[in-house]
Structure 1
Amino acid sequence: MVHYSAILLGSFGLSTAMAQSYKIAKSYVGQGFADDFDFYTKDDPTGGYVNYLSRADATSKGLLSYDSSTFTMAVDAQNVASGRGRDSVRISSKDRFNDGIYILDLAHMPVGCGTWPAYWTTTEHHWPNGGEIDILEGANGLPAENSTAWSATANLKSPSSGFPPNADTSSLHTRPGCSLVSSTQTGMIKTTSCDSKINNNAGCGIQYSNATTASIGLQLNQQNGGWYAMWRDVQGSGGIYMWFWARNDATVPQEVKDGSFAGDISAASWGVPAANFTIPDCKKDFNDHVIVFNIALCGDYTAASYSAAGCPGSCASFVLGNPLAFADAYFKLNALRVFTANGQIASKAGPEGLATGALAGIIVAAVIVVLGVIGAFLWRLRRKRRAAATARALAPRAMNDLSTSSVVSTTDSDKDEGGYPVGVLLPGETPTRSKAPGARDPRRGSASANTKKGSKASKKGYAAAATNESGHRAKQNVPAAPANPAFAFSNNQTKDKFRPGWAV
């Protein structure tokens, strides 16, 4: 077990919280990424020109590979694109996580004009409720000069100042009302409002310092990647903190560097974070998240910097017709480890591990079930009471029937006993008629009345009642009831409502 003494980080002021130890909850290495992540195959929700593949299709097309220590997911770099876009991969974890420490050992990230790679966590439903955390996100990163991808990217222009960046920008996206509080970090705050509904969903962003090392793009790949660590402590200290160490950084903590380390861990010795998202008033804005890796092509975020990065023509036309330009558009992951306070994933931790929104959903569901049981009980009770009342009302009528002849009369005493309308048969009664042909059935009224009723029935589309020679009603053919009108849901009614956030 590893323990670290708390240290004071200037105005960071989180020494006690940072000393908290976390236990390993999940480790993804090699095939574990393929087995424990779901493959997203729907249309790109950000309007990109990309075709996300299933695991089987990605494997058969050579866009997915793994061994005992690495996992690689890539963009198609062989074929001209068609349909909804160039083939790519997007995966999300089958398990959900909440507060804890997340450590990614990244060897290579996708680069190339039109690419939009991201490593992020997000709520599964009703975004932006539940929040989104973008840890690593880039767009239009240029490949190395004279590489295959570079040579296939013809007509490159000189990029604008600062493009493409070599420093990562992490960001949060929430519902309205969440903003950053000034805090200590080595990075620079770019935007303070996390509200996804303003500023074109830019969210609140912090750009890492690039004074000593690159944390994104080509230069990151040239130094064989590095480690990204996130300490999510929203329900504790009210913050989310991120660190980055390059592969050749001598100060990287051993428990971060060692991808097989599964002991207790804390952030106490990691120093001032690269990004400090202090959000004490936003605790209800983050619930259980899935972890996502994806390589989008074009789309909202990519379009914003496509020309500034010096990329040629339009994004969609470039992505469509230049397959070799995506030779370096791939993620190569060494390991991803998640540590939580109790060593459990949120989706299996029970009520203690669920966010407020999830607990509310459970409570609402329980209330609905209870109300349903109560409603069913009251309905059955009402039916029993009605049956008992009917039995009490029929009792005098039954006694009277036992004492009279088989010919039913309509005397005043008979009307008073039951109060039932003429022509209604009670349970167990048999229709009786006068033996004389055409004689009046005392329970059905006059023949003329029957004729009028028959005429009305004919007007409604039913055959008039026919009688045989004895005056009895012949068997009547009743038409079948008309079929229920056909109906169907519209596309809008059945449309999937899930809309992920910015880094999709």
Structure 2
Amino acid sequence: MHIGYAAVYLTLVVIPATCARFRIADTFKGRDFFDGFNWETLDDPTDGRVNFVDKSTAMKSNLSFASADKFIMRADHAKVVSPDDRGRDSVRITSQKAWDDSTIVLDLSHMPEGCATWPAFWTLSQQGPWPHGGEVDVIEGVNLQNSNLASLHTTPDCIMDTQRPQSGSTVSTDCDATINNNQGCGTQFTVPKSYGTSFNNAGGGWYAMQKTAADGISVWFWSRMDPDVPAEVRNNNDSISPKSWGMPSAWFPSTNCDYASHFNAHEIIFDLTFCGDWANSVYPNSGCGGDSCTDFVNNNPSAFTKAYWEVNSLRVYTT
């Protein structure tokens, strides 16, 4: 659960960068997701009002489908959910592979939006057990939020400075998952159109996350029509140089967080849950009306017509 905000600050500090370029290692586009990802059916660890379905069920129910150049995964938006059911049908997928030092670039046209929603795009140690090996939340938000939150969740002794070279605003600084109700160390984005309805109305955009022992973890965001989108990102180049992309929206250096003892090879996860520990706790003040979050999920299927991911491509680069 991530609650709280901090003031925006300005800095002239330059992020240290290596000279390494990254080269394409894996590309997921359209139907590639059906071969490279697993559909998970576990009970939601965040206590969401959700029923994650397997791949066969997702495909038969049209909750997961693809064309040559689009991949869609969504929540059910047709059925009223019985109080006795596990929750509203939705999808959680995890990559079969894991990558260590790498940069991932997600070209996204649409993310889930709306009351009671809690979508996330994140990476997680494949070795685990969680939080060993770390977690990096690249895209995350709830309800009618309009800006993205990027966070780390780790074992103890991983601390971030409040002021560091990033365009986003520091929310929390202790990444230890065992304190502050697993808030982690988070950065709220201040660039416009980074999450939810505003992101979707702008045609989506690109998220990129670099994770290396040398430079720590950085997350960038560019809206679809942003003139500052790096050409190598917009053009899906096979070779990229993140050091040329400018200040990230969020930066988590290894200054007070030893990389080797907190992070290892990560798998990639997309999911969409409802209510749960975070979205439910802030629901009464979200502007979503008088029903409880659970009642809203159960009784308003048409409210979830825009609760879907539309992915153009996911590209993983390694050094």
TM-score (norm. length: structure 1): 0.59
Higher relative contact order (CA 8 A, sep 6+): 2
Instruction: Give the partner amino acid of 1:65.
Output: F
Paired residue secondary structure (1:292): strand
What's 2:311 paired with? 333
2:14 alignment partner, one of 12, 15, 30: 12
What's 2:273 paired with? 296
Alignment of 1:398-413 (within 5 A): none
Paired residue secondary structure (1:81): coil
What's 1:250 paired with? 227
Determine the C-alpha separation between the residues in 1 that align with 2:295 and 2:228. Answer: 44
What's 1:358 paired with? none
Give the CA deviation at 1:255: 1.1
Instruction: Give the partner amino acid of 2:305.
Output: A
Q: Identical aligned pairs, as a percentage?
A: 42
Determine the C-alpha separation between the residues in 2 that align with 1:136 and 1:44. Answer: 18
1:215 alignment partner, one of 171, 183, 194: 194
Q: Does 1:106 align with 2:130?
A: no
Give the CA deviation at 1:242: 1.2
Determine the C-alpha separation between the residues in 1 that align with 2:112 and 2:148. Answer: 13
Give the CA deviation at 1:77: 0.3
Determine the C-alpha separation between the residues in 1 that align with 2:62 and 2:81. Answer: 16
What's 1:225 paired with? 204
Q: Which runs of 4+ in 1 moved over 4 A?
A: none
Corresponding pairs, count: 302
Paired residue secondary structure (2:199): helix
Paired residue secondary structure (1:227): strand
- The structure whose Rg is larger is 1
Q: What value does the CA root-mean-square deviation take over the aligned residues? A: 1.3
CA deviation string 1:191-245 (max 9, x = no partner): 11001111111100011113xx210010100001000011112x113x1111111
What's 1:133 paired with? 136
What's 1:69 paired with? 69
Give the CA deviation at 1:37: 0.3
Paired residue secondary structure (2:303): helix
What's 2:169 paired with? 188
Q: Does 1:24 align with 2:1?
A: no
Give the CA deviation at 1:10: 4.1
What's 1:274 paired with? 249
CA deviation string 1:90-134 (max 9, x = no partner): 000000011111100010000121111000001233111111000
Determine the C-alpha separation between the residues in 1 that align with 2:227 and 2:32. Answer: 29
Determine the C-alpha separation between the residues in 1 that align with 2:281 and 2:101. Answer: 32
Call closer, same or farther: CA 1:68–1:184 in 2, change over 3 Å: same
Alignment of 1:2-401 (within 5 A): 10-15=12-17, 17=18, 19-82=19-82, 83-124=85-126, 125-141=128-144, 164=145, 166-181=146-161, 182-210=163-191, 213-233=192-212, 235-237=213-215, 239-259=216-236, 261-262=237-238, 264-280=239-255, 281-283=257-259, 284-312=261-289, 313-341=291-319
Determine the C-alpha separation between the residues in 1 that align with 2:151 and 2:296. Answer: 28
What's 1:157 paired with? none
Q: Are 1:12 and 1:183, in contact at CA under 8 Å, matched by a contact in 2?
A: no
Determine the C-alpha separation between the residues in 2 that align with 1:245 and 1:226. Answer: 6
Determine the C-alpha separation between the residues in 2 that align with 1:289 and 1:266. Answer: 21
Determine the C-alpha separation between the residues in 1 that align with 2:154 and 2:281. Answer: 21
Gaps of 5+ in 2: 1-10
What's 2:3 paired with? none
- Structure having the higher helix fraction is 1
CA deviation string 1:283-302 (max 9, x = no partner): 11011111000001111111
Determine the C-alpha separation between the residues in 2 that align with 1:53 and 1:13. Answer: 42
Paired residue secondary structure (2:242): coil
Give the CA deviation at 1:68: 0.8
Instruction: Give the partner amino acid of 2:55.
Output: R
Determine the C-alpha separation between the residues in 1 that align with 2:62 and 2:179. Answer: 40
Determine the C-alpha separation between the residues in 2 that align with 1:230 and 1:43. Answer: 27
CA deviation string 1:175-196 (max 9, x = no partner): 1111013421111111110011
Determine the C-alpha separation between the residues in 1 that align with 2:15 and 2:306. Answer: 42
Paired residue secondary structure (1:302): helix
Gaps of 5+ in 1: 1-8, 142-163, 342-504
Q: Are 2:15 and 2:247, in contact at CA under 8 Å, matched by a contact in 1?
A: no
Paired residue secondary structure (2:181): helix
- Structure having the higher strand fraction is 2
